[in-house]
Structure 1
Amino acid sequence: MITDERLLRACLGHFATGVTVVTCEVDGVPHGATVNAFTAVSLDPALVLVSLHRRSRAGRHLAGRPFTVNVLGEDQRDLAERFAGRRAEAPPRWAPRPRAGLAPRLAGSLATLSCTPWAAYDGGDHVLFVGRVEEAEYREGGRPLLFYEGGFRGLRAPHRIGISSSGRVRRPRAVEPSDRR
């Protein structure tokens, strides 16, 4: 078993992830935490998973409560930093809830998945919270905020490949400065 935590963190940091803020409500007060350990689990039933450190305040708050996964766009880096505890400028804007009993949602998120608790599992120093998706929304045209090598990043425009009239894929080629007209 690997025991070098720094090496493990460096290796895991080479896997780009999306950035989410997981929100819940405790005694009528909204709480949230920036989380990049998020994944889909199942489509039927609709289940998602978030992983939170077991000693974190967010992990304690989430236990047994409805939660919302707010998928952040490039334009929401300030929210990622705020809910990671790095800075606290303007308070977040909250979106109307789709229905009573669900957790708060952040306005402007690329997508929101409002969940009820399904299960929680031991994951070493983390707890794996599985939620059943009760409501989901997304907005068109946004670009995701990513986390890679310990920092927030944007997504570059995708490379386009062409399809010829015969159906063959034309791979893009590098354009040399002398080729430009």
Structure 2
Amino acid sequence: MGLRIFRRPGRRGVATVEMAVVAPLLLLLLFGAIEFGWIFLVQQTMTNSAREACRMAVLQGADRDAIIEHFRSAMRGTGLVDGQIKDGDSTAPCPAGSACGDWTLNLPSQAVLDDRSSANETVTITVTVPNTKVSLAGLARVIGFKRSLHASCTMRKEGVMGGGSG
């Protein structure tokens, strides 16, 4: 005896309709997970790049141009290669041919990096990336992610000439 499959009339195409309803939601979840995963990757790269630049800046004989180049190479993995370098209130010009808007790096001047007179002298490096530069497909902006990403690092300078009595 053969097994017969009975279908109720009027139930044809239900699976297609269910898939048409569920598929966009599943795709939204998938792309949302990818989008926020990318945002977290950029945030982590910014934090590590700021820490590496800060680590270079606190060493004796720190060279500001070398710090900037090291920071740029660390950020290349995110595709955010061009940015603005700020030194206190002044802003360095953008590199030739760049959009100059992927990130902003606040870095002390060479004079501040060279000053070793204070025993508690610290160096702070701050990085900011606008949210428009982070989103892969714009999904984060659609659901309301409007804040810029920030990362900073503060370290005490090495090789400081202490003023204490020995």
1 or 2, which has the higher strand percentage?
1
Q: Which has the larger radius of gyration?
A: 2
TM surpasses 0.5: no
TM-score (norm 2): 0.25
